[in-house]
Chains A and B, each alone.
Chain A
Amino acid sequence: MKKLLVLLFSLVLGIALTGCGGSQEKEQPKQAGESGGDVIKIGAIYNVTGAQASLDGPSLNGFKLAAKEINAAGGVNGKKIEVVSIDGKTDQTSSTNAASKLVDVEKVSAIAGFSDSNYALAAGPIAQTAGVPFITSGATLPSMPEQVGDFFFMAAFGDDAQAYAAADYAVDALQAKKAYVLKDTAMDFTMNLAAFFEERFKSKNGDSAILLEDTFKTGDQDFSAQITRLKALKEKPDVLFISSGPSDCGPIVKQLRDAGVNIPVVSGDGFDTPLLIELGGKGAEVDTYFATHTCLNSDGEKVKKFVDDYKAEYNKEPENAFAALGYDTMHLIADAIKRADSADPKAIREALLQTNNFAAVTGSITYADGKRVPKKSVSILKVQDGKFSLIKEVTP
C-alpha cells in the first residue's frame, strides 16, 4: 500500500513535470503571435464557473460565435482565428494562472476576458508585462487602463459614462429632485456606479439631493429591512437609484413593488438581464429605467443579425448584454489584426489604439486621444410590455 502510494505520487509528479517540460519544449522556438503559420491564437479568460458564471458564460459564447463567423468568412488576412479559452473559475489565482499560461505557453496574440474588474485587474498586468494586448469585454471601471498600462483596453464604456447618463435621465426626463440610493457594498462595480451617480446628481440638484444611501451585499436574499427604512423616510424621494448586479436586480425590484413602492427606479447595466422582467413582472413595468450598452430588441441591422446568429448557434436568446460585448470584443480584435496586417501583439495594440468608429453591436467604438476607454453611446432602456424598449441613446 505504502509503496503503491509512493509510486502513485511520483507518477503524478512525473506527469506534471514532463507535461510542463514537454509543452515547454514544443513552444520554446515560437515567437509570440507566430503561432504555427495559418492560425492566429486569441486567448479568452472568462469565469465560466463560480459566482461570475452567469455574466462570463454568455460573454464567452458571444466571443466564440464571432470567431466562428470570422473563420467562416475566410478568417483574417487569410489566417484562421483560434480561440484558446480558459476558465478563470471566479478565482484570482486561477485567473492569473490562466493569463500566464496564455501568454507564456500558448503564445496568443491578444487576450480578451472578464466582466468584473477584480479579475481583469489581476490578469491584466501579466499581459501588460508580456506586451500582449488585453481587452476586457465587460468590466467597466474607467480607471483600469491607466492602472494597468498601455496594453489594456476596454470594450465597454466606463461606469462614469453610464452613471452620468442615468443621472441625467433622472433629472431631465423624470424631473427628479431628490434621490434614494441603494448599493451593493460587496461589488466594485456597484460601489463605483453609485459614487458616479451621486456625484452627477448632486452637481445638478445640490448636496442634499441624496436623501438616503442604503446598502446590501451580493447574495442577500431579503431586502425587507431596507424597504421598510425607505418607506419610513420623512421626505419622499422622486427616484430610486439601485446600484446592483444582474443577480440581485430582479428580486430588489420585485420586493420593492411587492411592498407597494412605486417610485421610478433607475440603474446601470447591472439591470440588463431578462430576470428583471421575469421577476419584476408587473412591478418592473412601473417606471423602471436603466442605462446600458445596447437594446437587443431594437431594429438595428447589426443587433438583429447578432441576436439571430446567437439563437441559431446556441438555441437560446442572448442571456444579457455581456453576450453582445463578448461578440464585439472578438470583432474588435479581428478588425485590429486586419488593419495591422500582422499577428504581432505590438502591431495589434497600435492598430487597436487607432480604432475609429468601429461599428459594433453595442454601439460604435472609438479610442479617442490615446485613451483606452472607448467613447461609446449609452442606451437608456425601459421595461415595457414584457420587453426592454429603447427610450433614447445618448453620446457623452
Chain B
Amino acid sequence: MMNLQKKKLYTLLALVALFVILFICNMLLSPYHMRIINLVGINIALVVSLNLTNGFCGVFSLGHAGFMAVGAYVAAILSLPLVKKAIILPELPKWLGSVELSFLPSLIIGGLVAAICALIIGYPVLRLRGHYLAVATLGFLVVIQVVITQLQDFTRGARGINGLTQYTNTWWVWIFTCITIYVVWRIINSAYGRGMMAIREDDLAAEAMGVNLTKYRLLAFCVGAFFAGIGGALWAHLITVVTPLSFSYDRTFSLVVMSVIGGMSSITGGVVGASLMTLVPELLRNLEVGITVGGISIPPLYGISQIVLSVVLIIVIIVRPKGIVGSREFSWNLFKKKKWNTMNQMEN
C-alpha cells in the first residue's frame, strides 16, 4: 500500500497532465477531433453518473436520457439570447421570456430541475425492483418525450430549439467530467456508498442493518439525474440543437451499453466503456468507404459499422459478462504491486 499523501499527489499530477494534454490537443488538433474528445468527456460523465444508480446502487434505470432531456431543455431555454428567444419562443410566459442566464447557472439549474424530476418520479417508483423498475424508468423517459413534444409554447415541440450558442468547449466538458468522477468517487467511498452497495447485494439484509432503502436509492437516483441533466445541457450546447428525438430510446440504450460494456459497478469501467463506445464507432466509419480493387469498385456498405460494433459487443459480453473492467477500480497501487486493487473483495 502506498501512503495516502503520495496517492493524492499522483492524482493531482495526473489531473494536471490531463489538462496539459487537453491544452496541447486544443492547439494542435482540428475542431473535428476536439469535438470527438469533448463527446468522450460528456459520455464519461453520463456513464459514470449512470453507474452510480445502475451499478453501485442496483437501481437499474433506463431513464437516463429523460434526465438529459430535462437538463438540456431547461438550460437551452434559460441560456437562449433574448433576441432569439423572442423570435422562436414567443409564447413563453413573461418571467421566462425575459431571462437570459449565462452558461454556468443554466447548467446548474438544468441539473437541479432534472434532480427534482428524479425526486418526484423516484419517490413512488423506487419501491419497485428489478425489471419492473427498469420499465417504470423507461416509462418516465416516454412521458418526458411526450411532454416535450406537446408543450409547444416552451419547447417548440417536434421542431425543437435550434441556434443555441455553442458554449460547450473542452474546458467546460472536462472540468465537469472530473467533478462528476470526483463526486461519484466520494459518494461510493462514503458511508452512503457502502449503504448503496449493501442494498445492491441484498436489500433485505441492508434494511435489517438499518439502511434506509428509499433514502439511499433516492440519493443515488437524484445525484445520477443531476449529472445527467448537466451532461444533457452540455451536449445540447455542443450540438446547438435540441429536439425530442435527441433523447430517445437510442440514447438511453447506448448509455446503458457503454455502462455494461465497461463494467457497471466501477468508475473505471464507466470511463473505459464510454471512451471506447464513443471512439470505436467513429473509427469504424472508415469501414464505410467504397473500395476499388483492380477496377472492380465495391460501393460503401452503410450500416456495416453498426453490424461490426454489435457483433463485437456480443462477443465481449460473452467473453466478459461483467464488462471489460468488471467491478475493479483503477488505483495507483496498480503500478506498484502489478495488481488491480479490488474495490469489492468478494468479487474474486
Contact = CB atoms under 8 A, between A and B. Distances in A.
Direct contact of A and B (CB under 8 A): yes
Interface of A: 2, 5, 9, 12-13, 15-16, 19-20, 24, 27, 48-49, 85-87, 89, 91-94, 96-97, 100-101, 103-105, 117-118, 121-122, 125, 130, 141, 147-148, 185-188, 191-192
Contacts of A16: 279, 283
Interface residues of B, number: 46
B33 A24 contact: yes
Contacts of A148: 163
Contact of B35 (A86, A100, A192): A100
A122 B239 contact: yes
Overall SS of chain A's interface: helix
Nearest to B302: A48
A120 B302 CA distance: 20
Given A49-B306, A97-B35, A185-B157, A125 B250 contact: no
A209 B30 CA distance: 55
Contacts, number: 105
A186 to B, nearest CB: 5
Overall SS of chain B's interface: helix
A100 B240 contact: no
Given A49-B306, A100-B35, A118-B245, 14 more contacts: A5-B324, A13-B279, A86-B285, A87-B288, A87-B302, A89-B306, A97-B32, A97-B35, A100-B31, A100-B32, A121-B241, A125-B163, A125-B166, A186-B245
Contacts of B305: 87
Interface in B232-272: 235, 238-241, 243-246, 250, 272
Contacts of B281: 94
A381 to B, nearest CB: 26
A188 B158 contact: yes
Given A104-B31, A118-B241, A121-B241, A9 B324 contact: yes
14 contacts: A13-B279, A24-B33, A49-B302, A85-B300, A87-B302, A93-B239, A100-B31, A100-B35, A103-B31, A104-B31, A117-B159, A121-B160, A121-B162, A148-B163
A343 to B, nearest CB: 20
Interface of B: 28-33, 35-36, 39, 149-150, 157-160, 162-163, 166, 235, 238-241, 243-246, 250, 272, 275-276, 279-283, 285-286, 288, 300, 302-303, 305-306, 324, 340
Contact of B32 (A2, A9, A105, A187): A105
Interface centre among A92, A185, A191, by most chain B C-beta atoms within 10 angstroms, is: A92
B149 A185 contact: yes
Contacts of A85: 300
